[in-house]
Amino acid sequence: MTDTLQGRTALVTGASKGAGKAIALALAEAGADVAICARNQVELDSVAELIRAKGRRAFAVTCDVTDAGQVAALPDAVSNELGAVDILVNNAGAAESHKFVGHPDELWNRMIEINLTSVYRVSKAFVPGMIERKWGRVIVIASISSKHGARYVTAYTAAKHGVLGLVRALAMELVSSNITVNAICPGYLDTPMTDASIANIVKRTGKSEEEARKIIASTNPQGRLITVEEVAALTVMLAGDSARGITAQSITIDGGQLQH
């Protein structure tokens, strides 16, 4: 039986497209009112309309999660529109690659900031309210790169490994407040971020876009990209009351690519 999220308020970061958009719509479908943030207000407004079409309240706010000031303003902004946040989905992130020799420091700093520090920063902004109300869900969209290494993605991999450590430590600190903290670790998703990886392969190897997509899909034993709907469904499950015993976990969705 699917839990209802009726009466709950969620915030999804990086919700203007891709997995974030799918997660926001799935949470609304399950009954939650949903606040969404990203850097593109026009795209956010479009997603907000889709949430309202499901009969739920929506609030779209521009926020760069790498900007401490903008993040600090989020709790009051969301609370004024929808009420306190019960379910926080840290989805915002980015992936860039470079071989380690000659790796630009600015790329390292950028990957750590968007993929790790932003999760720390946004969680820090919303967790105090959850502690006060003695209920909360913090869900981080991580990656299979949280669990294994690969060539040319040193900074991204380090950031995603760090996110997993953050999730586990925070879960233990918040367990007595009836707050769960979990990570979802998908393989390659069928999203604009993966499209960028495909374009990079095309540029680097001269292969066609179709060939490059097949290379990425072949890393999944099922021979496909993971869909955003799969990630969204798991997010909704973790947000519900029936998942109250699941915390400090990293749940992999990769078609069997990682077997540990």
Tell me which residues are annotated as active site. Answer: 156
Angle between helices 154-174 and 118-133 (to 10 degrees): 10
Sequence-ordered alpha helix ranges (H) in 116-245: 118-133, 154-174, 192-205, 209-217, 228-239
Three-state DSSP state, 75: helix
Residue whose C-alpha is closest to residue 34's, from 54, 14, 51, 55: 51
- Is residue 184 a contact partner of residue 138, using CB atoms and an 8 Å limit? no
Residues near 122 by beta carbon (within 8 Å), at least 6 away in sequence? 13, 65, 71, 74, 88, 90
Distance CA 222, CA 210 (A): 17
